[in-house]
Amino acid sequence: MAKNILQGKRGIIFGALNEQSIAWQVALKCHEEGASFVLTNAPVAARVGQTEALAKQLNAPLIYADVTKMEDLENLISQSTAQLGGKLDFVLHSVGMSLNVRKKIPYTELNYEYMHQTLDISAMSFHRLMQVLWKHDAMANWGSIVGLTYIAAQRVFPDYSEMAEAKSLLESIARSFGYHFGKHKKVRVNTISQSPTKTTAGSGVGGFDAFFSYADKMSPLGNADASSCADYCVSLFSDYTRMVTMQNLFHDGGFSFTGIAQDLMENFKDQSN
């Protein structure tokens, strides 16, 4: 399917931890489409992830950076533009983490230190990243910045807990920074609201497997997988979407606009008689 639509484009891809990671699939597709890019992940991923193997496979530079640290991001951006030989055409923010979720702390009893960390890693980091890109004037004209989000930003999914707040903030930052980036630098900023996907971060959410099946049944097209999400990212990095900005784009097989699915109704028919 590759059409070289990212030929000559330079970018940075955050968050490819292992083969299941959405960012991993994005890196494979960007490579197929002719882009050159830097891979980045948290320093701890050097121990627990396989980012290095992917970097070797794709012959991509790997620069570790903790998204909560300004100096790490400054270093990442200046090294990336130097190593890639110019300004960036695309950046993928595919980062999320919640200690409250990981430790299964109920929503009504959230630990606020953890919550600070969640908001910092999963949402404020998007602003911090864009601020560094802005200050370094590191984005090329008509460049594209994408963050990944989930529909719990708009509707309640109880097990998603405080990550719902993080995603609301992330989407708002995309709109607000998108305005400035559009107006002053002709750069677009969007979020993709992705189906539940079997990854390390996804599977950390309570009841994930049941919820995955529910969403799959609710969506007329079924759940969107990581590979199709990667295709969508490629389209947003390409020149075919130059006028799309400040949007939250649902990539969920139709889940977001389905009220009820016939398949699920069948489960309740006997009970109503």
What is the binding site for ligand NAI (CB under 6 A)?
Answer: 15, 17, 21-23, 41-42, 45, 66-68, 94-97, 121, 148-150, 194, 196-197, 199-202
Residue with Cβ nearer ligand NAI (11 or 185): 11
- Do 22 and 230 meet the contact criterion of CB atoms below 8 Å apart? yes
Residue nearest ligand NAI, CB atom distance: 202
Minimal distance, residue 105 CB to ligand NAI, in Å? 18
Phi, psi of 62 (to 5 degrees): -120, 120
Minimal distance, residue 217 CB to ligand NAI, in Å? 16
Minimal distance, residue 48 CB to ligand NAI, in Å? 8
- Which residues have C-beta within 8 Å of that of residue 234, sequence separation ≥ 6? 5, 6, 26, 29, 30, 33
Residue with Cβ nearer ligand NAI (36 or 118): 118
Minimal distance, residue 117 CB to ligand NAI, in Å? 9
Residue with Cβ nearer ligand NAI (181 or 250): 250
204, exposed or middle or buried, with CB in 10 Å at 0-12, 13-18, 19+?
A: middle
Residue with Cβ nearer ligand NAI (38 or 140): 38
Nearest to 187 by CA among 224, 226, 134: 134
Minimal distance, residue 268 CB to ligand NAI, in Å? 26
Residue with Cβ nearer ligand NAI (6 or 92): 92
Minimal distance, residue 270 CB to ligand NAI, in Å? 31
How far is the CA of 95 from the CAs of 3, 200, 203, 205, in angstroms?
28, 11, 14, 15
Local structure of 20: helix, strand or coil: coil
Residue with Cβ nearer ligand NAI (17 or 140): 17
56, exposed or middle or buried, with CB in 10 Å at 0-12, 13-18, 19+?
A: exposed
